[in-house]
Amino acid sequence: MVTNSDAKLQLFFNICKSASVFVRLHAYFLSKDLHKSKKICTFAPNYKISPKMKTNYEVRYASNPVDAKSYDTTRLRKDFLIERVFAANEVNMVYSMYDRMIVGGAMPVGETLLLEAIDPLKAPFFLTRREMGIFNVGGKGRVIAGDEVFELDYKEALYLGRGDREVKFESLDAKHPALFYFNSTTAHCAYPNKKVTKADAVVAHMGSLEMSNERDINKMLVNQVLPTCQLQMGMTELNTGSVWNTMPAHVHSRRMEAYFYFEVPEEQAVCHFMGEVNETRHIWMKGNQAVLSPEWSIHSAAATHNYTFIWGMGGENLDYGDQDFSKITDLK
């Protein structure tokens, strides 16, 4: 028999759900007559509950390169471009079927944001079966992973291994909020959490100003720096006067990749190139936007200003050098 208290509690759950108020709520029945119970539910006491906080996610399915040849501009942008990475007091993410990588961002502004286990994961915690890499591309911030606290400054990174615990994001100054960009892939085992700075990175200086591609590739969350299951992440910084990245172009069918472009002036833009070598396509992008690159696609860009981008890969191997290059003159 459903009591009046049962109905009231169910109504409360429905209101919370319909209003998209994401609060970790633990409820339990102490008896069939809820009105006799002195303790019906408890809220998690370890973090600030924010009624303004939102978690938004989207699932994107993989495409066949033969089909992708027929995509128009709107379809290309819909399937591959991630325009809204950051929004105040929101955690936004795309669950991609390319190696099941999740690409997202968190922007805490005076609130603590919880990294929730979105429904497609079917898991109690986001990292129950996953690892993740986080880069801060904003003001100073803090990542809380279970009992561990990591402070991240601009362009500092953090690796979090698989395991059941909450992950929360905070800014140290709400007037200069942190911008946490993250990639996450599935993980078969748990490796230790580790903060990584540019001083820890394996740096490769590539290109030249004459070729408009002089840049530093900072390999930060890679197996030369720390152990991971399949995730690799790094940051490439282009020098003043250089605008091309990843040219000559390459593919690596063993791994997919995601690019996140930032340090792009507001009035400037990046032209990201994708597609097969003989069927290239392009997507115009702004700063603080990300793009998915399938295993069969090149991933390169030119811009109207120098910029920085974060690359993240997941797939069959951890061999950064496993790349199948193409001649520049073969691109079509």
Buried b (16+ CB within 10 A) or exposed e, 9-24: beeeeeeeeeeeebee
- pLDDT at position 36, please? 32
CB-count exposure of residue 177 (10 Å: 0-12, 13-18, 19+): buried
Say how many Å lie between the first and final Cα of the chain, rounded. Answer: 69
Rounded Cα distance, 235 and 260, in Å? 9
- pLDDT at position 330, please? 84
Average per-residue pLDDT for the chain: 86
- pLDDT at position 249, please? 80
Q: Which amino acid is at 176?
A: H
**What pLDDT band is residue 52 in, cutting at 50, 70 and 90?**
low
What pTM was computed for the model? 0.83
Among 330, 270, 272, residue whose Cα is nearest residue 306: 270
Q: Which residues pair with 81 in a beta bridge?
A: 291
Is the confidence at residue 317, as pLDDT, over 50?
A: yes
User: 104-134, pLDDT tens digit by residue?
Assistant: 999 999 999 999 999 999 999 999 999 999 9
Q: What does the pLDDT average to over 279-291?
A: 97
Pick the CATH number of 54-330 from 2.60.120.10, 3.40.50.300, 3.30.70.3270, 1.10.10.10: 2.60.120.10
Weakest-pLDDT range from 16-20, 79-83, 179-183, 256-260: 16-20
Among 57, 80, 54, residue whose Cα is nearest residue 67: 80
Is the confidence at residue 205, as pLDDT, over 80?
A: yes
Mention every residue, 6+ apart, whose C-beta is less than 8 A from residue 112.
Answer: 47, 48, 50, 144, 168, 169, 170
Q: What percent of the chain has pLDDT over 90?
A: 74
- pLDDT at position 248, please? 81
Q: What percent of the chain has pLDDT over 70?
A: 83
Rounded Cα distance, 316 and 229, in Å? 10
- pLDDT at position 21, please? 39
Q: Where are the domains of the chain?
A: 4-43, 54-330
Structure tokens at 111: 């609130």
